Structure 1
């Protein structure tokens, strides 16, 4: 499922003379590796997801955004439109990452109220007492025309002393 994304990650690293260290994750969007350059590369599986992720990072860069509501946002280091790879800074909690599902300037889909209510119930359960802060973070991104879709622990990571469920 990820062999092509892994191949492209390796090619990106070779082209930039950097070393892939550890595979940090793999999912529907693609694969993520740490590098020997204090960065992370994400090789996306699909053109559309790559462009969404890249475009969010470009918007953040254009607006000089390093944090949203006190949560670090990785800076874009480099990207490759042919290989569908973004390279970003490593961040420590609290942080927000993973923008492949995000949309710019408008929500990608309007869901019926009952679907949104179920989504919100699930997110309230996942984040517990931190849910109001998550809502504040989502609002902070919307101020820059960024609508996050993949809202979950791991993508929005609180500092260990802030995690209250």
Structure 2
């Protein structure tokens, strides 16, 4: 079996202002990444948005290793394991993710956040995205290739 595609996902949310951001970095045939954010949102919606964006254009049948920090893993766990109490929020994103995961062997891994790692890089982009969303509203942007080259993702 080929090495799995590695994906780092992160979400940020400011409780007082209700703005949030998300980001992902993915290593497959190449290193790619996107970030986005919105106003009047939740951390759960940002975590789900990150995962949905990361899964959007994957080759069919690819094995996936999705890595995230503990706080986001708690929010995403219900996507991978049937929860005892079915969620009632963000059903649109949950349905989209379920469809995108079909045909993939996906594993969610909880990672500790260490400096100068792809996860730390992804979290920093999610934080910047939350700040931008506070000022400009909803957006989505590709993380520039020169920045991705500094993420450390290609070396993993």
Same topology, TM > 0.5: no
TM-score normalised by L of structure 1: 0.25
**Structure label with greater radius of gyration:** 1
Task: Give the TM-score normalised by the residue count of structure 2.
Answer: 0.26
Which fold has the larger relative contact order, with Cα–Cα distance below 8 Å and residues 6 or more apart in sequence?
A: 2
